[in-house]
Amino acid sequence: MPKSPSKTKTTELSSTPLIASVPLKQRAGLPSKDSIIGISEPAPVSMAGAVTSAPRYRIIHTNELDEYEKAAVSPISFAAAKKAMPKGDSFKGTDRKAAKLSISTAKTETFKDLRTLINSLAAESDMVDHDPEIARGPKSNRVKEEQRNVRVRAFIYAASREADNDFHLIIGRSPTVTPEMYMTMELSGLPPSSSASFKKLKAARDAFKKFYDDNLGGNLPGMAYDFPDPPIPVTIEGSLFFDITHASGSRPGPKSLKSRMPVIWEVHPISSMKFES
């Protein structure tokens, strides 16, 4: 993996929606142009004064937020999105905290395609009407259908950092296959260091942050969604989680991709992330 880029150039296009003349190679999973508020382009990697390689990725910053986040009430600027990031790495939420910070003990199932994984999930109606009812409080543990660990190779299309300090990743199929399909997978904010899951959750979170340091100028996502360009290939492992809190009202995801996110199932927490070199 290349050394960290020495600097990153960020161009802020506007603090409000802008239909921009932004050069984007047409592919699946791009944000709508009227949501783009900035672009960060890491500088070429250099060593001993000589440029060794051009950066593989840039970041398309948008004003797309999950509708349930407080900041979703008005357009958000690039600077405001960065300022809104939680501090540190500790988990700051309460909803189903016990489940979100635990790792299932089940054997890991491997899927070659995200579509196959999504097709294996229990129906939303069955989970909403689950017996016993899925509790929403902080002590709510995994139910039977969530006692699954999965591994899948896919692509990161968008990422944000939520108020509970989870990195909210929108994971999709290869941009060369159809139909488009995306799913939420989350890097949880960390539990106390004494927790059984702490070591794995920290390693996964650290791998994500290191990849951004090495390839994206350290520009970690803020509250609004960032879209890496091109999407980032990654193998993800983690435990399945049904987000009952979004079974009614607004569903998670950026507006540009939400129509191709067929489930509110998640991989949460992510327990391992492996990036292509």
Task: Tell me: pLDDT of 233 over 60.
Answer: yes
pLDDT top residue among 106 and 219: 106
Query: In which band, very low, low, confident or very high, does the pLDDT at 257 lie, cut at 50, 70 and 90?
Result: very high
Amino acid 51: pLDDT = 56
Model confidence, pTM: 0.89
Can you give the residue ranges of every domain in the chain? 8-275
Amino acid 74: pLDDT = 57
Task: Measure the CA–CA gap between 239 and 266, rounded to whole angstroms.
Answer: 8
Task: Tell me: pLDDT of 204 over 90.
Answer: yes
The answer to whether the beta carbons of residues 183 and 261 sit under 8 Å apart is yes
C-alpha pair distances (Å), 257 with each of 31, 55, 58, 114, 202: 8, 25, 19, 15, 28
Query: 10-24, 167-181, 204-218: which has the minimum mean pLDDT?
Result: 10-24
The tokens 């070429």 sit on which residue? 44
The tokens 């939303």 sit on which residue? 124
Question: Which among 68, 40, 47 has a CA at the least distance from the CA of 4?
Answer: 47
Work out the angle at residue 170's Cα, subtended by the Cα atoms of residues 168 and 174, and round it to the nearest 5 degrees.
155
C-alpha pair distances (Å), 232 with each of 16, 228, 263, 277: 27, 7, 21, 11
